[in-house]
Structure 1
Amino acid sequence: MGQRANYIFIENSQKTIHYSHWRANVITSDLYLGEKRFIDFVRSCKSVEVLLNEVWIEGCVIINIDKKTLYFWSLEFGTTSATDFYLNKLQQRWKGWSLNLLYNQMYDIEQILDIDYISQQEQFPLLVKTTEEIINDEISEFGNTIIIIKTGIKTHITQLGGIDASEVLNYGESVIDILLNKKEYPLPKEEEDKVFETLIFDVVNKEMIIDKSEFGLWEQCQNKWEGYNLTMGDFGYIGALKLANINIEQLVMSVEKIKIAFNDQVMRPEGFDPQKMAERLLQEDKDFKFSSDFFDSAKPPFTLIEKFIRTISKPFKRQNY
């Protein structure tokens, strides 16, 4: 239980690693506090010797003090059309810094730090779907995997409701013929929030794009896609379409929606108290066991002004743009 994050300082050419048990899901709002407050917060976090294993880590930040360069990713970020808006606003809080969103999570971290990380991680077998399951799959009203196949003659767009992109890739190249026979759908608008994942095939150039970074995906599927290249990363729905040179003009969210999404990204959450959560869990199960990290309470403190604003504006939603 937790939202585990690592923060890596590079200062005077030395690397130090810090750990938070509860802050991976609020990295974007923590970063928006600005250079000094974020760095002070990270220094207050527990110092550790090694990075979390891939199966546990949900966010990571590299703060290179020497070069004034920052890299970050978070599972909760959710790349959308609001991402550029957020990064532009964030730059104003980190003046003189180079800010970099990492689309390939720990794959990118490994390259930046020049360490052997990925090969040390355990890979879990991908699920295997049958031909019948793919043929009979029906779309969901809540969110679907968007499949786009560019054949050179036409672009076929379909959706899957109970099968995700990794399962499609794990089936192998013959899945394309199955998907070409499935019902076609128009591309949904971004603000409808009906896209779970996006997978794009260019069968002429043997290129594939998937809009999420999934550890072990290509390592396990590559031998089923001879001659194909996979571009993988947390690009988001619109980002994947742009990479595939698909017109997005009528699909992107409005400026108003972008500002609302941005406001949600930088809104500081109400204070979370692990001690109170522990008390509630013990009421349900008196034998519940906790790790020492469960009670990690390090977080950026509110300023007096922020406390005052929160007090007088509780009935209203703050605007941060």
Structure 2
Amino acid sequence: MAVYTEVSDEALRAFLAQYAIGELLAYRGIAEGVENSNYALKTTQGDFILTLYEKRVDPAELPWFLGLMQHLAARGLSCPQPVPGRDGAALRVLEGRPAAICTFLPGFWPRRVRPSHCAPLGEALAQLHRAGEGYAPVRRNALGPDSWGPLLDRCRGDGESVQPGLIAELDAALAEILAQWPEPGRLPVGHIHADLFPDNVFFLEDDGRRPRVSGLIDFYFACTDLYAYDIAVVLNAWCFEPDHSFNVTKARAILRAYGGRREIAPAEWQALPVLCRGAAMRFLLTRLYDWVNTPPGAMVTRKDPLEYLHKLRFFRHATHAGAIGG
């Protein structure tokens, strides 16, 4: 979440008049994240999240995202629900941007991931994959492997300023990843989150018991792709310590809990190391691009691309699933 587009009091009140969610009491921008502009709203009827969709999101695809969230919730997954306006439409325009209001989920995302978070996370990821079955529309992964080369090319001019030799190292690593990427049809495919970082998973904790997932948020990178790639994204996002070491205990907890809800096929286990390298490459490249292209004055927290260089280097040496918790 982030704020690129400022919303005036007058524009927001006129926008909210199109909804039956009560009178506005307070609102504030949410600076975390890098993609869309988000505001926390408090009205006389409760708490909501307002999202203005920025340039990386294709407005034509927004009905797909909102429909997926509705589909997942109808099948028992806790996730935000689009709020329809008085005219029944959930999607409209604010400050020149496509915009929607979604319900607010209780809970907190873990600033420090503990092993006790990992099994509930694995269960929730498998539940998401199972719940997505039956949602007929398909959305290709716009940030999948075929996008990584062009994205790297767009970073060549300024990428070396981040770290000397970075572009050459990424060229070599990307060539390896693409050469080993699974052939189409070899692995199970379905609807995936593709961005399930700790700040997109809310937990509740009950008197020292195991934390439980209260909801998953931010589905605007969701797509139709390999289930195992979604697992690889989660291993990248949740299993590294501040010193860049890989915590195999956390990975094993995620994988075992996931497998208890949805069996991981042998071919998925075999492909997991290269999928983890691919996931590291994807987030390294988008962070690198944002690092050198974030507009001045944007209320957004830039994320360090070199964090994912350490992860990529680890996974380049993890040549079998056992090295990453399998």
In the superposition, the TM-score normalised over structure 2's length comes to 0.24
Q: Between Structure 1 and Structure 2, which shows a larger proportion of helix residues?
A: 2
In the superposition, the TM-score normalised over structure 1's length comes to 0.24
Greater gyration radius: 1
Q: Between Structure 1 and Structure 2, which shows a larger proportion of strand residues?
A: 1
